[in-house]
Structure 1
Amino acid sequence: MQSTTVMTGASRGIGRVAAEHILRESPDTHLLVVARGLAGARLAAELGSGGRAVSHVQADLSSLESVRSAVAEIRDRLECGVLPPLRGFVGNAGVQYTNALTEGPEGLESTFTVNVLANHLFVRLLQDCFAVPARIVITSSDTHFGDFKHNMGMVPGPVWQLPEVLARTGAFPEPDSTSAGRTAYSTSKLAAIHLVHEYARRLPAGVDVVAYNPGFVPGTGLARNAGPVSRFAMRRILPLMALTPFATGRAAAGRYLADIVLGLTEASTGSYVDRERTARSSEESYDPLRERELWDAVERFTAVHAA
């Protein structure tokens, strides 16, 4: 049976591997990729070679209005039958900045916007379009644990604050520093897991939602906003760590993501999948009161765009 899966972050890294794997293993899937500018058309053409069903919509995930416009176009295509029934959404796009001062068009901090609010707006605006059974997968990170075991000291752990603070620039000490930017990243990934738990409580029956942790994956595009030294290390030095137990190779991480999307990895709604198996996320990530507070806040932040 033909179905549509919408995917962000398919242009490079584990997302590109996952997209290719999904299309190869599930020929009935129509993959709709979300990307900025002309990149979406190129990506769709490349992934669609050999007659595979791939299309694209344009969106800048740092702009909630751009996300709203993209979802409106997706809904139109679904309603008029251009796309087969929607059964999947993959929120794989993510950013990490070298500061906590980068601001998007709506005046919100960009890490929080891309890693949290953009996914939330996709989920909320598409939730009544899903044909069950359906699965939503949100890419998280084990940086949300905040300990040496999970990130080898490369990324500071999350520093939770009121969502109204996290959504604004300057939320962390020395906000113009790389450390603050990385703290914004790990905190946004903790927020993503909180919302997965809340989605599991609120989404319609048959629409499952899962958080996916690929582990440390060297050689992806996550460091594209870093300085030249960091980018060089990510491209040339850290990929060697993929040969050790401390890291996950890009091909393996992409395949794990695809398997979750395709339902080949067993995971109940609200689960946290660490690479290829379900696991517990950090103890801090299980906080129903914080999750409801975050839900209320992101609903306020996105309300004008979700209307």
Structure 2
Amino acid sequence: MQHTVVMTGASRGIGRIAADHILRRSPDVHLVVVARGSSGAQLAAELGANGHAVTPVAADLGSLDSVRSAATEISDRLDRGELPPLRGFVGNAGMQYTNALTEGPDGFESTFAINVLANHALVRLLEDHFVSPARIVITVSDTHFGDFKHNMGMVPGPAWQSPDVLARTGAFPEPDTTTAGRTAYSTSKLAAIYLVHEYARRLPAGIDAVAYNPGFVPGTGLTRNAGPVSRFAMRRIMPVMTLTPFATSRTAAGRYLADLVLGTTQAPTGSYVDRSRPAPSSQESYDPRRERELWDTAERLTVVHAA
């Protein structure tokens, strides 16, 4: 039966590989790719080259007004029957900055806006259109563990604070540094896991929500805002680490993501899926008080942009 899957972050890296796998392995999927500006049209043309059904919807994920417009467009197309029933959402887009001072048009720190608030707004604005069985997959990161085993000392662990503080620039010490930017990233991924737990509690039965950790994947566009030395290392030097257990190749990470979206990898709602299998996330990531506080804050920060 034909169904719609909405996906962010499909234009490059593991998202592009996952999108190819999803379309090739499930001809019934109509993929809606949410991408910035006119890039979505080119992406849709490339993904749909072999007759696959792909629809682009433009959005700047750093702007909640733009996210709302995208969700409204998708909802309208679903209501008019231009898209088949909605059974999936993949929040794969993510950003890491070289500081914690980058501010989006809504006044929110951009890492938090893109990695947390944009996903939440899309999930909530599309929630009433999901048809059971449906699956929401949010890409997270094992940097949220904050230990050497999971980040090899490259990314500081999360530094949790009130979500109202995390949503604004300057939340971390020396906010103009790369360390602060990376701390904002790991903290945003911890926040995403918290929201997945809340979705599992609050969404109607039959709509599952899972967090996907691809592991350390060299060669993606995640560090595209970093300096030239860091970008060179990630593109040319770090990929050799995929020959070790410490890293995942883009090909494998994209395939694992597709497996999770398509249900090949089975995981109960609220799960943390480490590459190809459900696993415990960090001890810190299980905190109902923080989860409720983050939910309430995300609702308050995004509600003025909702229809």
* TM-score after normalising by structure 1: 1.00
Q: Deviations over 1:228-267 (max 9, x none)?
A: 1100001100011111110001000000000000011010
Q: How does 1:221-260 map to 2 (within 5 A)?
A: 221-260=221-260
Q: Report the Cα distance in structure 2 between the residues aligned to 1:279 and 1:50, rounded to whole angstroms.
A: 36
Q: Report the Cα distance in structure 1 between the residues aligned to 2:35 and 2:222, rounded to whole angstroms.
A: 15
Q: Report the Cα distance in structure 2 between the residues aligned to 1:55 and 1:20, rounded to whole angstroms.
A: 14
Gaps of 5+ in 1: none
Q: Report the Cα distance in structure 2 between the residues aligned to 1:153 and 1:3, rounded to whole angstroms.
A: 42
**How far did 1:86 drift?**
0.3
Paired position in structure 1 for 2:155: 155
**How far did 1:92 drift?**
0.1
Paired position in structure 1 for 2:60: 60
Q: Deviations over 1:39-84 (max 9, x none)?
A: 1000000000111100110000000000000000000100000000
The one-letter amino acid of 2:58's match is: Q
Q: How does 1:1-307 map to 2 (within 5 A)?
A: 1-307=1-307
Q: Deviations over 1:82-101 (max 9, x none)?
A: 00000000000000000000
The one-letter amino acid of 1:251's match is: T
Q: Report the Cα distance in structure 1 between the residues aligned to 2:2 and 2:242, rounded to whole angstroms.
A: 36
**How far did 1:306 drift?**
1.5
SS at match of 1:57: strand
SS at match of 1:128: helix
Q: Report the Cα distance in structure 2 between the residues aligned to 1:234 and 1:92, rounded to whole angstroms.
A: 19
**How far did 1:38 drift?**
1.3
**How far did 1:118 drift?**
0.1
Alignment identity in percent?
Answer: 79
Q: Deviations over 1:185-228 (max 9, x none)?
A: 00000000000000100001100000000000000000101011
Q: Deviations over 1:87-126 (max 9, x none)?
A: 0000000000000000000000000000000000000000
- Moved beyond 2 Å, runs of 4+: none
SS at match of 1:5: strand
Q: Deviations over 1:13-35 (max 9, x none)?
A: 00000000000100010000000
Q: Report the Cα distance in structure 1 between the residues aligned to 2:57 and 2:109, rounded to whole angstroms.
A: 24
Q: Report the Cα distance in structure 2 between the residues aligned to 1:242 and 1:13, rounded to whole angstroms.
A: 15
Q: Report the Cα distance in structure 2 between the residues aligned to 1:84 and 1:191, rounded to whole angstroms.
A: 31
**How far did 1:37 drift?**
1.0
SS at match of 1:200: helix
The one-letter amino acid of 1:212's match is: Y
SS at match of 2:304: helix
**How far did 1:127 drift?**
0.6
SS at match of 1:6: strand
Q: Report the Cα distance in structure 2 between the residues aligned to 1:196 and 1:50, rounded to whole angstroms.
A: 34
